[in-house]
Amino acid sequence: MLTASVESFIENVAELRSIIDDHYEKLALNKHVIPLAPQWEVYFAREEAGELLFIPLRDAGRMVGYWIAFIAPGLHYKTCLTATMDIWNVIPEYERTRAPLVLMTAVEKEYRRRGVNRSFVGEKMHRPCGKLYRKFGYDPVETHYSKLIGV
């Protein structure tokens, strides 16, 4: 049975590490020059400050996906509590199941519980997920571009 609910990032980081490398292999475009090296201490500090949301997706207790977002007042709009997605993933064998819907439903529920006013999400152009976002009422608002410099 699939479940998704808020859990402690710090308490689950070891289990997260067991699947995050596959996420990096699946999505990272510049892995030939930029290795995966999360600043775990920053995530821990953000969780301690109450600004990190971690929702693992589980099947019979096993982590099969996750959502990580930062929640804080907007830098441009201090009266707007803003959730900014950091990363999310569902492992390959669950991608084409209802797993992403279960995860996104839990995320939306927690955003409402915390009083989030606006949420920002992103998608990789080579691994689009906009269909899922639109299903939950998100509108595309901005496109980001990337360029390697000095690497």
Domains, the chain, ordered by start: 2-135 (3.40.630.30)
Q: What is the pTM of this model?
A: 0.90
Cα–Cα dist 68/12, whole Å = 12
Task: Note whether 56 and 66 are within 8 A (CB).
Answer: yes
- Six-digit token string for 145: 């571009």
% of the chain beyond a pLDDT of 70: 99
Between 151 and 32, residue with greater pLDDT: 32
Q: What is the pLDDT of residue 123?
A: 73
Cα–Cα dist 21/36, whole Å = 8
Q: What is the pLDDT of residue 58?
A: 98
Strand ranges for the chain from DSSP E: 2-4, 52-59, 62-73, 81-90, 118-120
pLDDT band at 9 (very low <50, low <70, confident <90, very high): very high
Pairing, β 52-59 against β 62-73:
antiparallel
- Which amino acid does the sequence have at 98? R
- Six-digit token string for 117: 């006013």
pLDDT band at 91 (very low <50, low <70, confident <90, very high): very high
Cα–Cα dist 102/114, whole Å = 19
User: Has residue 117 got a pLDDT over 90?
Assistant: yes
User: Has residue 49 got a pLDDT over 80?
Assistant: yes
Q: CB neighbours (10 Å) of residue 148?
A: 9
